[in-house]
Chains A and B, each alone.
Chain A
Amino acid sequence: MYQYDDYDRALVTERVAQFRDQVERYQAGQLSEDEFLPLRLQNGLYLQKHAYMLRVAIPYGVLSANQLRALAQVSDRFDKGYGHFTTRQNIQFNWVKLPEVPDLLAYLAEHDMHAIQTSGNVVRNVTTEAFAGVAADEVYDPRIFAEIIRQWSTINPEFLFLPRKFKIAVSASEEDRAAVRIHDVGLYLFRDSEGELYFKVMVGGGLGRTPFISQVLNEKLPWRDLLTYLEAVLRVFNRYGRRDSKYKARIKILVNTLGLDAFKAEVEQEFQQIPKDINGLTESELSRIASQFLPAVYETLGETDLEFATHLQNNEAFSDWYDLNVRSHKVSGYRSVVISTKFPNNIPGDVTSAQMRGIADIAERFGFGEIRVTHEQNLVLPDIPKSSLFQVWVELNRIGLGLANHALLSDMIVCPGASYCNLATAHSFPVAEQVVNAFTLEEQQDIGPVSMNLSGCINSCAHHHIANIGMLGLNKSKTDHYQITLGGRQGTDSRLGKVLGPAIAESDLPQAIRTLMDVYRKYREVDETFIQAVDRLGLAPFKEALYPEAQG
């Protein structure tokens, strides 16, 4: 992973001192609530329902074993012994105390971590896919450009008081496992026929109460111009984005109000006027950043391992886990392991300090001491020799993390909900758990891959719009109700799900999901996944089954 040099380290250390002073001045009454608010947000600190919440940055979801241990330490020392991994590949601590936050941040800085710009109207943590650098289908390692963007956007003085938050994602694979198209700016890295690197730049994606899938802003941007181009986009956004309503301030609204062509013309005009040499990326900067990642030194391993084959043959639980949670790797003899944080074993995204330490040990013992966070709130061990998989599985089970459900219906993205969050209208976790518990693992395996995301309010933190089945918590009279959407998906061909009908009472939700699955199981063709069946059948049979009374 990226190794800090003295400049990186000096920046985070000075930032802690700066924030410590701001906290002290706030506590002494020298800074008002309103004056302090953006300062704490730019340092990742929210005020939630019961306590302050600190969101710590995990740049593009990459952690070292020691950093994960540091996060375990933070969980024990400053929180209640656990942390919550988020869809921006970050981690949140829900019970921190304001006077302790500077010490917490100082401790993180010692481990080359920070909470800068994980919140506020700024460029947020740049994300990419969890398998960056180990996926066989990538054209280039997207982490390298994600790190370049991270540095450029960190405390960039012109862009710290934008109209609204600004999210950037990078993907270098055809499939797109980084949900690029729901980002304010999404970057698809590709090579042309000459082998040169370019970006296809997407703009105006975002969920929330007005969801949009992004559109193409630039078909072919040379990689050297990346920062100059981002500067042009952000300057246009900073000057012309709406500031009168929080809900109309994202760049997606600007793009759709002006129209894509007019917006594109604005960006192009700005881009042409910026001297390209100033921020122009160079081969040497690219290779310097690449070398800071200390590429893993792989052994030459065979694909054949008889012991592994025996375990696979004799142990059904291991074999299920292997089928579902283990992914191919670009290097022969290696695999990537997805660690599920989901129901019924865990609360989605929540990992205890003991589990963090356990994962760190496994990553060091069997991998290269690296851990990834996925935007689906799971963790990944990117480089595990095939011959170690059985031991890794045994060790993961020992800490309650051996659940074999990756990409099954229980692998849900769920927001923390009204138990923690001021914005949420519904209590997400308990109802998601009831939905999951309505299905045995065997049933889930029979149903196969399906994405089900549940958001506790319209702000859509759990990305329910781009799930095959989305559930949105609404506050209706005394009981929580859930609106169900169908047909959404992430990836290059992202789509927003469509609302099936009136919201359903919380207690009826598990049965409603079962009804949808029954329709699929009744009509599916051989090897047809849930989403493929939805595409073929349309919404009608699902609607009819869910709302029979409406059909008369």
Chain B
Amino acid sequence: MKNVIVISDGEARVDLNDPWQFGQESEQVECSARVDEVATWLEHSASNRSHGVLIQKEEELELIAPHLANITMIALTFKDFKDGRAYSLAYLLRTRFHFKGDLRAVGDVMRDQLSLMRQCGFTSFVIKEGKDPFDALKGIKGLSVTYSGSVSNPAPLFKRVRRY
């Protein structure tokens, strides 16, 4: 995939050599670098299942949840950046289903929402075509003060620091 930002060891960087490819774009990609849609993934035999899976709809979360141990990357779709469902799905994948792999934001993904996505547990971001991923990097950090807890920082501020 192009225009990818990854967070590894707490550092965000643009990855020009991202290995992942969507299955529907090329049948030839081997399982370890392929991302299939949930329906396709479920149809495949166990040996031919891709290591990456693309969730596009809310209800697909429950379908894929039992198989998370065999998946190393989940791409969650933001069809429109104003549709915030994927933030809750990311939260659930991380805290309820304890998904430990790479959680990737795809679709309408832009600089000004990246810090929110990061806080909800996303670890990589495919920046929307036409937007500069190096510019988007500036959006990863966000504000230094957050009141509520989140996936990246579970305790709310009042339990995280001593306030007088």
Q: Is the CB of B148 within 8 A of A152?
A: yes
Q: Is the CB of A7 within 8 A of B163?
A: yes
- B161 contacts across to A, CB distance below 8 A: 7
- B157 contacts across to A, CB distance below 8 A: 7, 151
B164 — nearest CB in chain A belongs to which residue? A5
A243: interface (CB < 8 Å): yes
Q: Is the CB of B143 within 8 A of A11?
A: yes
Name the contact of A238 in the complex, choosing from B85, B115, B119 (C-beta under 8 A): B85
A162 — nearest CB in chain B belongs to which residue? B84
Contact with A along B132-151 (1 / 0, CB 8 A): 00010000000111111110
Distance in Å from the Cβ of B55 to the closest Cβ of chain A? 13
- A238 contacts across to B, CB distance below 8 A: 84-85, 87-88
Give A14 to B142 CA distance when docked, in angstroms: 9
Q: Is the CB of B88 within 8 A of A239?
A: yes
Quick one: given A35-B110, A35-B112, A238-B85, are A158 and B150 in contact (CB under 8 Å)?
Answer: yes
Q: Is the CB of A158 within 8 A of B91?
A: yes
Give A288 to B156 CA distance when docked, in angstroms: 15
- B83 contacts across to A, CB distance below 8 A: 161, 243
Quick one: given A235-B88, A239-B58, A239-B88, are A161 and B120 in contact (CB under 8 Å)?
Answer: no
Q: Is the CB of A22 within 8 A of B112?
A: yes
Give A240 to B88 CA distance when docked, in angstroms: 11
A345: interface (CB < 8 Å): no
B155: interface (CB < 8 Å): yes
Q: Enumerate 7 A-B pairs (CB-CB under 8 Å) in ascending A order.
A: A7-B147, A8-B145, A154-B147, A157-B115, A160-B116, A161-B84, A239-B58
Contact with B along A503-518 (1 / 0, CB 8 A): 0000000000000000
Name the contact of B82 in the complex, choosing from A7, A121, A151, A279 (C-beta under 8 A): A121
Give A279 to B149 CA distance when docked, in angstroms: 8
Q: Is the CB of B82 within 8 A of A38?
A: yes
- Interface positions, chain A 264-292, Cβ under 8 Å from B, are 273, 278-279, 282, 285, 288
Taking Cβ atoms with an 8 Å cutoff, the residues of B that contact A are: 58, 81-85, 87-89, 91, 96, 110, 112, 115-117, 119-120, 135, 143-150, 154-158, 161, 163-164
Q: Is the CB of B87 within 8 A of A14?
A: no
Q: Is the CB of B147 within 8 A of A11?
A: yes
- B110 contacts across to A, CB distance below 8 A: 35
Name the contact of B144 in the complex, choosing from A14, A31, A156, A161 (C-beta under 8 A): A14
A39: interface (CB < 8 Å): yes
- A279 contacts across to B, CB distance below 8 A: 148-149, 156
Q: Is the CB of B146 within 8 A of A5?
A: no
Distance in Å from the Cβ of A67 to the closest Cβ of chain B? 20
A153: interface (CB < 8 Å): yes
- B147 contacts across to A, CB distance below 8 A: 7, 11, 151-152, 154-156
Quick one: given A151-B157, A152-B147, are A157 and B88 in contact (CB under 8 Å)?
Answer: no
A394: interface (CB < 8 Å): no
A161 — nearest CB in chain B belongs to which residue? B84
A148 — nearest CB in chain B belongs to which residue? B158
Q: Is the CB of B120 within 8 A of A15?
A: no
Interface centre among A8, A155, A282 (most CB of B within 10 A): A155
Q: Is the CB of B163 within 8 A of A14?
A: no
Interface centre among A8, A156, A240, A288 (most CB of B within 10 A): A156
Q: Is the CB of A158 within 8 A of B81?
A: no
Q: Is the CB of B155 within 8 A of A39?
A: no
- A22 contacts across to B, CB distance below 8 A: 112
- Interface positions, chain A 200-250, Cβ under 8 Å from B, are 227, 235, 238-240, 243
A10: interface (CB < 8 Å): yes
- A273 contacts across to B, CB distance below 8 A: 96
Distance in Å from the Cβ of A18 to the closest Cβ of chain B? 7
Give A7 to B148 CA distance when docked, in angstroms: 12
Give A477 to B145 CA distance when docked, in angstroms: 53
- A156 contacts across to B, CB distance below 8 A: 147-148, 150
Name the contact of A7 in the complex, choosing from B87, B89, B145, B149 (C-beta under 8 A): B145
Contact with B along A190-202 (1 / 0, CB 8 A): 0000000000000
A288 — nearest CB in chain B belongs to which residue? B163
A366: interface (CB < 8 Å): no
Q: Is the CB of A157 within 8 A of B150?
A: yes
Give A125 to B97 CA distance when docked, in angstroms: 33
Quick one: given A35-B110, A227-B156, are A157 and B120 in contact (CB under 8 Å)?
Answer: yes
Q: Is the CB of A161 within 8 A of B87?
A: yes
Give A18 to B81 CA distance when docked, in angstroms: 18
Q: Is the CB of B144 within 8 A of A239?
A: no
A159: interface (CB < 8 Å): yes
Distance in Å from the Cβ of B30 to the closest Cβ of chain A? 34
Give A15 to B144 CA distance when docked, in angstroms: 10
**The 9 A-B residue pairs with the shortest CB-CB distance in the complex, in nearest-first order:** A161-B84, A157-B116, A157-B119, A11-B145, A151-B147, A156-B148, A158-B87, A14-B143, A238-B88
- B143 contacts across to A, CB distance below 8 A: 11, 14-15, 18, 155
Give A155 to B89 CA distance when docked, in angstroms: 18
Name the contact of A157 in the complex, choosing from B58, B87, B154 (C-beta under 8 A): B87
Give A227 to B88 CA distance when docked, in angstroms: 16
Distance in Å from the Cβ of B134 to the closest Cβ of chain A? 13
Give A159 to B88 CA distance when docked, in angstroms: 8
- A8 contacts across to B, CB distance below 8 A: 145
Give A460 to B38 CA distance when docked, in angstroms: 43
- A15 contacts across to B, CB distance below 8 A: 143
Give A158 to B163 CA distance when docked, in angstroms: 24
Name the contact of B158 in the complex, choosing from A158, A160, A285 (C-beta under 8 A): A285
B145 — nearest CB in chain A belongs to which residue? A11
Distance in Å from the Cβ of B144 to the closest Cβ of chain A? 6
Interface centre among B83, B87, B135 (most CB of A within 10 A): B87
- B112 contacts across to A, CB distance below 8 A: 22, 31, 35, 39
Give A159 to B163 CA distance when docked, in angstroms: 25
- B58 contacts across to A, CB distance below 8 A: 239-240
- Interface positions, chain A 1-38, Cβ under 8 Å from B, are 5, 7-8, 10-11, 14-15, 18, 22, 30-31, 35, 38
